[in-house]
Amino acid sequence: MRDNDPLKDEHHFTKLVKKTKIHEDGTIDSCELVPRKDEEFMSVDWLEHYGHDDVDKNIEELKQYYNYNFTIRTQKLPLLNVQKVKSHVEENTREKRKLKILYKPENFNPSHSGVYNYKHDDELIGDLIAQKVEKLYEAKINNGL
């Protein structure tokens, strides 16, 4: 896949989410699922970049990357499906908003991608994305310590 290619509909993405932004019922606060104020897209990680057929194995590879490069304590990784997110947002916004989820590799992060076509204050879209979380993973690697 090349820079700016759309992720396939059957693929998955995730991003680091602060544990404090996850409600008691397990839902994620919309402010965690919108672009930062100074960015044109929400940064995410494309899981199939890691090449495993099993999404859990792809998550484990991403966790290795995060734990090696960042201080990971209590953050979570929500599993999101490309097509389910795009369809849910389009079906539940008045203007039938079409999100674009594009591959945006960076030198230090080859799975980096972006969710485009909404802004930092589009909380409705953040909520709609949160509704499609399939599973929450711990971001920290458990080394048995």
Residue 68 lies in a domain: yes
Q: Report the C-alpha gap between 140 and 34 in whole angstroms.
A: 23
The residue segments making up the domain with residue 55 are 12-138
> Could you tell me if residue 7 is inside a domain?
no
Give residue-wise pLDDT tens across range 108-143. Answer: 999 999 999 999 999 999 999 999 999 999 999 875
Percent of the chain topping pLDDT 70:
98
Question: What's the domain count of the chain?
Answer: 1
Q: Is residue 4 part of a domain?
A: no
Asked if residue 14 has pLDDT above 60, the reply is yes
Residue 109 lies in a domain: yes
- Flag whether 56 is in a domain: yes
Contacts 24+ apart (CB under 8 A), 66-72: 66/16, 66/139, 67/139, 67/140, 67/141, 69/108, 70/16, 72/16, 72/139, 72/140, 72/141
Backbone angles phi, psi at 31, to 5 degrees: -65, -20
Reference 1, options 49, 47, 43, 68; nearest CA is 49
Q: Has residue 104 been placed in a domain?
A: yes
Is 48 a member of any domain?
yes
pTM of the predicted structure, to 2 decimals = 0.94
